[in-house]
Amino acid sequence: AQSVAQPEDQVNVAEGNPLTVKCTYSVSGNPYLFWYVQYPNRGLQFLLKYITGDNLVKGSYGFEAEFNKSQTSFHLKKPSALVSDSALYFCAVRDGGYQKVTFGTGTKLQVIP
């Protein structure tokens, strides 16, 4: 069975500071990893994905994520946070051979002006 853990319910960061939102995963096969963002009263929007290749993946809105196979982690990062980055962030994993995607419980990012 595949699973995703987002250990922080909320992350607070000052505007202009770097941010990290943590994610660890467990799958039996090769992982496909995703980050999605959800703004209030909206559906989830895709940010970035890791399938294979470089461990550092760049995505939308200046976000990037680092895949670490040995630590089974896929942390979301951004060098300089914006107030508009405040939202709910979900990590998700899919076992490469299957279509079912498992989502984490979400981390609320609050960027303080």
Partner 1 sequence: NAGVTQTPKFRVLKTGQSMTLLCAQDMNHEYMYWYRQDPGMGLRLIHYSVGEGTTAKGEVPDGYNVSRLKKQNFLLGLESAAPSQTSVYFCASSPGLDLAAPFQYFGAGTRLSVL
Binding site for partner 1 (CB under 8 A): 9, 32, 34, 36, 41-46, 49, 51, 90, 94, 99-106
Task: Kindly tell me which of 42 and 69 has the beta carbon lying closer to partner 1.
Answer: 42
Check if the beta carbon of residue 57 is closer than 8 Å to that of residue 73: no
C-alpha to C-alpha distance for 91 and 72, rounded to whole angstroms: 13
In the complex with partner 1, the residue whose CB is nearer, 15 or 22, is 22
User: In terms of CB distance, is 78 or 94 closer to partner 1?
Assistant: 94
3 state SS of 108: strand
- Residue type at position 80: S
